[in-house]
Structure 1
Amino acid sequence: MTAITQSVDLGRRGRIAVLTVNNPPVNALSQHVRQGLYDGVTRATADAAVGAVVVTCAGRTFIAGADITEFGKPPKEPGLHEVLALIEQSPKPVVAAVHGTALGGGLEVALACHYRIGVKTARFGLPEVKLGLLPGAGGTQRLPRVVGVETALQMIVSGEPIGADAALTHGLIDAIVEGDLTAAGVAFAEKVVSERQPLKKIRDLEDKLAQARGTPELFANFRKSVARQTRGFRAPENCIRAIEAAVTLPFDAGLTRERELFLELLHSPESKAQRYFFFAEREAAKIPDVPPDTPAKEIRKAAVLGAGTMGGGIAMNFANVGIPVTVVEVAREPLERGLGVVRKNYEATASKGRLTPADVGRRLGLIRGTTDFGEVADADIVVEAVFEEMPIKQEVFARIDKICKADAVLATNTSTLDVNAIAGATARPESVVGMHFFSPANVMRLLEVVRGAKTSKAAIATAMAVGRRIGKVPVLVGVCDGFVGNRMLHARGKQAERLILEGAVPHQVDKVLYDFGFPMGPFAMGDLAGLDVG
């Protein structure tokens, strides 16, 4: 094994060269990775004893995208386009062996290889649209040539990855393999060499583009189908235009058009905002005095106090990820009503094809209702979602303090009240933390984790970890009126209500914000959240 760069090694197994990328944690395409791939392929193809090259990665994943630390900085050679051109023009077969995720530039590397194999759990995607960009290293030109234009449109415009089975069905990979991936890659490459199989260059494939040329309405129909969810974003339309270029232009001209559309997005305010959000979301996960190795309690069972608008949605979050949850109400009638709303929510999702009936049954089976407070005794975390009145919350916390096990995390879903005053009703304020969900709690991703004066680091770490596990974006905030989200919304709401007093009607106010790009205005949001909680 020879070190080509600090992150890429070149080895040999018989007549098959193995290029291994090792750039933890996600094998991002840093300059030294690109240089290693470029130099490694150059050396391997110049070696007369080498018959083929396998590109693989160490660690938990294949190349999972660009090096985000290089964003906004002057480009460093070699560029990814140069690396991919070298791989594609190699006179010897190059095989990508994928595990984990091949995302963004990682999938573009794989697409430049002549063959691709993957393990059963591998995933493949081009998520650049989520940063307000498009795949800028040939992804919009190569992917439709191999999976077809319709599938490429869905993958690139949504940014969502597909699994290995779908990748095999669509022709994105040539085989799903088991066991040691490098060994399987070498065996596959050996077979290609022995059988003198051709160098399959995706750039030369035309069959699936020809199918699209025969259905000119394809792009118009696709635009209509995504118009609602892509409203206000520039990147989805540029992605579509780039794929149109793959259909209408020769490959090299298509690459040029892709580059033009990419640069247009790179300097757009929308992409700058989406990239800011990308980095901000990751920064929010870093808490200086609560390091990543802070012990967090393992959550095997949860409890939610209250089956109203918020409580039912919070319970769904736990059930959605397989955590059994007990919902407690003061009486049978509000309990049954709340659980009925949960059932209707799941059935509505199933009616849209997003859940199977089996999924609905499984999730409902994890939610158990009761009027007995004693049922929370074995819960690892209890989330209170009762009326937003301090005396009621303090009474509830004093009660569960005497019931819950000593190491349980006690969380309040308060949106404005003083977490310290709530914690003061218990003999264990260090276990009390705010977990403010936004309505609808089963839909909205933001979760404010509120640190009280005596909240322990373990409780904070647990609340943050639980938030991530249930698919939220947890953000740590301090105790203050309205925390962060509602303080902002309060200022906006005040101005919106003032406009009503001056003669506007709610839908006019909402339309201004909708036209600006918000999903909805303040009055529509109040209706969605529920006027009882909004």
Structure 2
Amino acid sequence: MTLDIRDGIAIIALDHPPVNSLSLALRERIVEQLDAAASNPAVRGIVLAGGERAFSAGADLTEIGTPRQFQEPILRTVIDRIESSSKPVVAAIAGVALGGGLELALGCHRRVALETARVGLPEINLGLIPGSGGTQRLPRLIGIAAAQALMSSGAQQNARQLAGSGLLDEVVSADVVGAATTLVTKIVDSGAPFPRARDRNLDISEVRTIVVAQREKLTARQRLQPAYGALLDALVASSLPFDEGMKKERELFLDLVPTAAAQALRYQFKATQDATKRPTELTAPPRRVGTVAVIGAGTMGSGIAIAALDAGLTVQLIEQDAEALDRGRERIVEHYRARVAVGKLSQEIASSNGDRLRAVIDWHVLRDADLVIEAVFEDLGVKQDVFRKIDAHARPGAILATNTSYLDIDQIAAVTSRPEDVLGLHFFGPAEVMKLLEVVRGSKTAADVVATGMSVGSTLKKVPVLTGNAFGFVGNRIYNAYRRQCEFMLEDGAWPEDVDRALTDIGFAMGPFTVADLSGLDVAWRMRKAQAATRDPRERYVAILDRLCEAGRLGRKAGAGYYTYVDGKQSKTTDEAVRYVIIKASAQRGLHRRRLKPEEIQRRALLAMVNEAALLLAEGVAGRPSDVDVVLVHGYGFPRWMGGPVFWARKQDRAQLQADLRNLAEEGGHGFVLADLSPLLNA
């Protein structure tokens, strides 16, 4: 191993592609190079540098929870060696410096960053806190309030945003290694002691005041995750002598590693990465997509258009009449106007995005589109009519996608002359915000079309999950089973608020009946009526929603659904009219209503999801069990720190799980299909 020395400055290069994750091998190499630099009289100072893509993206996640994570030199040891170096060490940051990567830079005596570099401490997103001095050094550099905000959000910040914060000594537009070399030379030439973050002190009363205030601001969902409280405890310790604070941070970090939340979040991180990868059988390269046509300028179509514009694509927004088109165009313009007004987007980028939008009522423009996405009313006949027109105008080789949430892709593709070019791209609303994208493969969809769907999802910064073509695909199929079970519980004795509260108490973003009101009860009602002719009369069917719709209670938009709404505010409990409908449904079923404890509500809801997930896996609709968890977390508000229904099931006692599912099947009655959980639990 040869040390790279330039004019008396040793350049220690982090070299662990692709993102310089801090594996044991890389940690060993850094220490070896530090020792070589320390013992070489020709070396006056040291620059620690990464590559263009990454200084370091942080810990090697494959080592977390394994013996290698704790094998010396651990990252703390590496940072101690840097900080105690008799020769000044300057970090040259390009690309990303995240988690342990940023902690490594914090241990250096100075930091220089390329203006496009991004830094952050995202450990909170994995159920952890920074464990190598981040909670102790960062507050000493940028202040307790700014440090808390950066760590509790887990978000990345651009180096330009942090110029002058105290974190970065210089922000440069080019040649960050050269700038770092110049800086370390100045430090050496000055002869002055070089600064260390650990030598700074914080005001104890200020730290405690800010931490107390932040603890009171924790949301209910944050309080369910131990890392948020642990982070505040570590920040309190930053007002102690440095070594004491480091000891407290280490204790808190190690306590978090084995927690259920941390395990679930690490699992969900990997599951998301796996879901976005194309299956090995899809070897065909994706088709090029530069121009996207969106058919339908309603809320969903406008959202899809915004997502495509944000990704740098050219968008054709098409409607059947000028009035509807103008509403859609204005919706997009207003979105960007609002983003600029609150400082979330520059006027330059907003203008650039707007310039790539073409809103028309002329279908002939489809000849220029590489991808056509239909986003019209959720009705098979309507969508088939639209696809006939798309087929007539789109160029050969263009990909034709439907945004249906539950309809049969093959029936839509069948009305075209090119079913091999048709697939489903099921966006979740609001489409410009929600990360999940179900990529649905029809029976005749070509391999390169599926590959393109997955590629487009990544381009749009979505989480694309490949699914088979079945009613509701993965997400809505499971959600329907979950909602059906929750409706059973209404007949059994629970009120809507009991169910909603029980599920939000364990971290669901919203309960099913609040969601139903928000979406509009008529959406589900319309789907139920479409299925009425094929429904087996022996099945347990809960008609409560139907009765509410018949009474004009269509949800929030109508001022009443399961709940009532005054000035947009939802009532805390259901009113007598809703309770009358529910009690009558129980009586017609011949059920004696009983109080359901929150634990029973929670378990029955989760069991329903697990059972349906196993059925989807057996039918080949879901490619792998973890895909189910990705869909539920990213699209349906399932608590990320619970991992997903499959992860939850794998943590349960197997015998009890099977027994509870058998009970669920008995209560569900005719039509409830009891799944074999073995493939789901043992995969």
User: How high is the TM-score relative to the length of structure 2?
Assistant: 0.72
More helix by percentage:
2
Summarize the Cα distance change of 1:526–1:359 in structure 2 as closer, same or farther, 3 Å threshold. Answer: farther
Per-residue CA deviations over 1:448-498 (Å, capped at 9, x if unaligned) read: 001122222322222222212222111111111211111110111101222
Matched, 1:270 2:265: no
CA–CA distance in structure 2, aligned partners of residues 305 and 422 of structure 1? 15
Match of 2:272 in 1: 281
SS of residue in 2 equivalent to 1:62: strand
SS of residue in 2 equivalent to 1:69: helix
The one-letter amino acid of 1:183's match is G
CA–CA distance in structure 1, aligned partners of residues 329 and 508 of structure 2? 31
Per-residue CA deviations over 1:406-448 (Å, capped at 9, x if unaligned) read: 2221111111122122222222222211100122222221110
CA–CA distance in structure 2, aligned partners of residues 412 and 230 of structure 1? 37
Match of 1:501 in 2: 491
Summarize the Cα distance change of 1:530–1:382 in structure 2 as closer, same or farther, 3 Å threshold. Answer: farther
CA shift for structure 1 position 184: 2.8
8 Å Cα contact 1:24-1:59 kept in structure 2:
no
CA–CA distance in structure 1, aligned partners of residues 45 and 114 of structure 2? 20
1:409-424 equivalence runs, <5 A: 409-424=399-414
Q: Structure 1 residue aligned with 2:209, among 196, 201, 217?
A: 217
CA–CA distance in structure 2, aligned partners of residues 345 and 176 of structure 1? 32
Summarize the Cα distance change of 1:527–1:455 in structure 2 as closer, same or farther, 3 Å threshold. Answer: same
Match of 1:377 in 2: 367
Deviates most, 424-433 or 408-417? 424-433
Q: Structure 1 residue aligned with 2:4, among 8, 11, 14?
A: 11
Match of 2:668 in 1: none
CA shift for structure 1 position 11: 1.1
SS of residue in 2 equivalent to 1:12: strand
8 Å Cα contact 1:440-1:528 kept in structure 2:
no
CA shift for structure 1 position 356: 6.3
8 Å Cα contact 1:510-1:524 kept in structure 2:
yes
Deviates most, 149-158 or 54-63? 54-63
CA shift for structure 1 position 403: 0.7
The one-letter amino acid of 2:413's match is A
CA–CA distance in structure 1, aligned partners of residues 193 and 390 of structure 2? 70
Summarize the Cα distance change of 1:242–1:17 in structure 2 as closer, same or farther, 3 Å threshold. Answer: same
Match of 1:261 in 2: 252
The one-letter amino acid of 2:64's match is F
Q: Structure 1 residue aligned with 2:183, among 181, 188, 192?
A: 188
CA shift for structure 1 position 32: 0.9
8 Å Cα contact 1:401-1:427 kept in structure 2:
yes
CA shift for structure 1 position 142: 0.5
Matched, 1:301 2:329: no
Per-residue CA deviations over 1:234-280 (Å, capped at 9, x if unaligned) read: 21221121111102x21111111111111222111111111111000
1:80-479 equivalence runs, <5 A: 80-206=75-201, 209-210=202-203, 213-214=205-206, 216-227=208-219, 230-247=222-239, 249-289=240-280, 294-342=284-332, 354-355=344-345, 363=353, 366-479=356-469
Gaps of 5+ in 1: 4-9
Q: Structure 2 residue aligned with 1:72, among 65, 68, 89?
A: 65
Summarize the Cα distance change of 1:367–1:510 in structure 2 as closer, same or farther, 3 Å threshold. Answer: farther
CA–CA distance in structure 2, aligned partners of residues 205 and 323 of structure 1? 48
Gaps of 5+ in 2: 525-683
CA shift for structure 1 position 93: 0.5
SS of residue in 1 equivalent to 2:253: helix
CA shift for structure 1 position 394: 2.1
The one-letter amino acid of 1:394's match is Q
Summarize the Cα distance change of 1:343–1:185 in structure 2 as closer, same or farther, 3 Å threshold. Answer: closer
Summarize the Cα distance change of 1:231–1:428 in structure 2 as closer, same or farther, 3 Å threshold. Answer: farther
User: What RMSD in Å do the two structures reach over aligned CA positions?
Assistant: 2.3
CA shift for structure 1 position 505: 3.4
8 Å Cα contact 2:371-2:400 kept in structure 1:
yes
Per-residue CA deviations over 1:79-129 (Å, capped at 9, x if unaligned) read: 111111111111111111111011111111111111111111111111111
CA–CA distance in structure 2, aligned partners of residues 284 and 533 of structure 1? 29
CA shift for structure 1 position 33: 0.4
Rg larger in 1 or in 2? 2
CA–CA distance in structure 1, aligned partners of residues 354 and 508 of structure 2? 33
SS of residue in 2 equivalent to 1:487: helix
Deviates most, 502-511 or 164-173? 502-511
SS of residue in 2 equivalent to 1:41: helix
The one-letter amino acid of 1:213's match is S
Summarize the Cα distance change of 1:442–1:115 in structure 2 as closer, same or farther, 3 Å threshold. Answer: same
CA–CA distance in structure 2, aligned partners of residues 189 and 458 of structure 1? 52
Identity of aligned residues (%): 43
Summarize the Cα distance change of 1:310–1:432 in structure 2 as closer, same or farther, 3 Å threshold. Answer: same
CA shift for structure 1 position 526: 2.6
Match of 1:57 in 2: 50
Match of 1:6 in 2: none
CA–CA distance in structure 2, aligned partners of residues 420 and 511 of structure 1? 39
CA shift for structure 1 position 327: 2.3
Match of 1:7 in 2: none
